[in-house]
Chains A and B, each alone.
Chain A
């Protein structure tokens, strides 16, 4: 079945190629305003450190001082998130909540309505007594997951909201933070699906 599917996909792609290809002279060079999409799972299990990601590099970046760096766009610490803007950094970032909609339905980033980072409270040490600290962070993106502590232990409800964010250099991306668990059911493994527009336009689909 799987093979059949693969085969069909290849055939379809081939077909698409035939229909879209043209003479070398008559065509514009391949445009670089194509949206970059991907899905990444970030190990944000540590209580005492943040993990930063750059959309332009499409990878995790090492940052010595997040507050003075523009090398990162989004940072994760357990379920906490920060974007390079406001209290979190010197970047031109921002966050907009598009609500619980289909990821593909958000085709264009809105022009305005982006919130800047403020302060959030995080658990910095899972110990007795626990250590809570207030740090710069994203209060809008904080709503991607709802963690409540019932008698049966913590309950995690993922909102499945789609967020449009601005990167450190003011470009647009839409993200869907869709998972907090790895396959072994351990928390702190954040899976993010994203579409990033490198050309600076608001087109994200």
Chain B
């Protein structure tokens, strides 16, 4: 508290220092309200001397230039304005709202900064404001609400991401472009992704391995964290969601299993705080998050009907009585970032994060639960000698540990530790006005400590990958942009591998056409290479050192229409997967070994529509169609729904310091039909036959009302899963939503609130 007070007073002093020489005013073109915190950049026409400024609460800034200069004013949600200004000149500017964030800078498609409208691959962007105004607190919930076709399902004891036929192991999730350690069937620990520090989420469908390497085959989800230029800033957010289930009511303190039972009924609570300072050249940001979730169980209401078409037999399975259990959780994370800017050309940054996660399962008998821990840190140095030229050196390390937490002994026993170490140098070099070269040298080292390599013993295996990539971004003229890239790598397990990409973008405004080819791959994991694990003596899973990477070739063509009131795009793609790594049975079903075997392909269509219906209503919708073809004989093995859609209707009302946003978000997942190979007794013989499985389509809806005061206090109340949908049967292919839940969230930007009252 004392620290907070002294920071606030520090901030006070700095406020007094400013207060005169107002010569620039920045307003919203539509509402005529001042725009605070807008970034103002000046660059001298002759000396190229640069100045930076931020507008005050009243939308004011000083004019520091001593020569004729270019001025660029930018702010999230507005189109960037560029003008020239003379020394001592006073000017008033009106910024045009950027309804669809087309001016938003994105980085995922090219690993360079580009406005969304200029990205060579259609990029879906979810901004902090869209997240906050709907009261989301986890990235998992945001993705589920906004990305068509995405579902989080249950596989074993972990959540499994599935994007219409794209499995977890073909989806790459990055935080500020960095890979995350710790995986379960290709899934990262989604609990690590909190929204309170998210600036935006960038989603690219299709392959991007030329830039990002392994696993970027079906989609890349890049989570960009916030940076702020405020002198002092502090944000506190909290969210409470109603209980999923009261597993033990009237719990007695003397109960022998008090702690165990109590842990299954943690509140659905999320509390976080961000504190940052920018003092001259130094900046620091601290982010703390605490959250807990309530365990629940889902009971089947329906049972499986197996229709064996080939043998004209139908078997009605009995109702599955054992519920699917979703664990309760408790986690804490702390994230610290320091940066120092030596001058306009050179800056350095250091960051570190620590995360712990208890996963409380329903099994009392074993006296243990899973406990996860992550330690990550990094260093970054940026050298930018002039506009269009930059070199970024970075080192990132991420270590994810899994433990058995022995409840009676209060001890942890480690059974898994995965670490990524990733030094890299990435450079951008602008050649003339038309070409931008991006190149990088990367080294990725992965180590895995596990008891799966040698029975009953923890052993460490490692692989490393040396990478060189190059991308050339050529702007042939104002309409035509070609980007070509290639990645070459040497992997210690399988040798060299090359990954190309090519994209062509043609602008015939208001239309933009994009054609893309990109290759993707996934390196075999350490388990797939070296595993030797006996499943309770019943069968053995063995690795295969001769595995080659899984690869894919992705082709897409799209057209986008962009007007001030509407943005819509249609993307058609075909994704061919080769050499998929799958386990194969041998030795009379006692040995399960990984092999490069399968092939499959996906044909898909994505349609997006964002439109401003009236002054206060906005519609956003997305529809995805997928046709996945696994085999030539018509047998469909994957539980992919061909149709899925998301819709969103937003109502916005602003008056003075008050802003109301009401939002209804709907998500539709179409019916799923597929075949499952089964072994059964038929006329005295044991035979193998396929049965048909059908899952009905479903939709879930979410309603939220956000009230924002003084642009600094945001109160959101809402209902998740408005119509209380739960799956009739919980399997790998269905939703694990607990049903309707009410929530309330409160975000307070303390420094903004303070300034508001200060200015009164």
Contacts and interface: CB of A to CB of B under 8 A. Distances in A.
Contact of B365 (A129, A130, A150, A180): A180
A28 B252 CA distance: 41
A150 B155 CA distance: 10
A129 B409 contact: no
Given A156-B366, A179-B365, A181-B366, A151 B155 contact: yes
Contact of A185 (B368, B534, B537): B368
B258 interface: no
Given A126-B537, A127-B537, A185 B367 contact: yes
**Size range of the chain A interface in the assembly:** 20 to 34
A158 B365 contact: yes
Nearest to A155: B363
A154 B365 contact: no
A128 B406 contact: no
B406 A129 contact: no
A181 B537 contact: no
Contact of A156 (B363, B536, B537, B590): B363
A152 B157 contact: yes
B365 A157 contact: yes
Given A149-B536, A152-B157, A184-B406, A128 B365 contact: no
A129 B538 CA distance: 7
Contacts of A128: 534, 537, 540, 590
Interface in A84-136: 123, 125-130
A183 B363 contact: no
B683 interface: no
B404 A185 contact: yes
A181 B367 contact: yes
Contact of A152 (B156, B365, B413, B536): B156
Nearest to B539: A128
B401 to A, nearest CB: 17
A93 B365 CA distance: 28
SS of A interface (majority):
strand
Contact of B367 (A123, A149, A183): A183
Contacts of B367: 181, 183, 185
Interface of B is mostly: loop
Interface residues of B, number: 21
B2 interface: no
B590 A185 contact: no
B408 interface: yes
Contacts of B155: 151
Given A150-B156, A152-B157, A156-B365, A183 B406 contact: yes
Interface string B403-437: 01010110001000000000000000000000000
Contacts of A126: 536-537
Interface in A34-87: none
A102 to B, nearest CB: 13
Interface in B311-326: 322
Nearest to A148: B322
Interface string A129-167: 110000000000000010011111011111000000000
Nearest to B368: A185
A128 B538 CA distance: 7
A101 B735 CA distance: 36
Given A128-B540, A156-B366, A183-B409, 10 more contacts: A123-B537, A126-B537, A149-B538, A150-B156, A151-B156, A152-B156, A154-B536, A157-B365, A181-B367, A185-B366
19 contacts: A123-B537, A125-B537, A126-B536, A126-B537, A127-B537, A128-B590, A129-B537, A145-B365, A149-B536, A149-B538, A152-B157, A154-B536, A156-B365, A183-B406, A183-B408, A183-B409, A184-B406, A184-B413, A185-B406
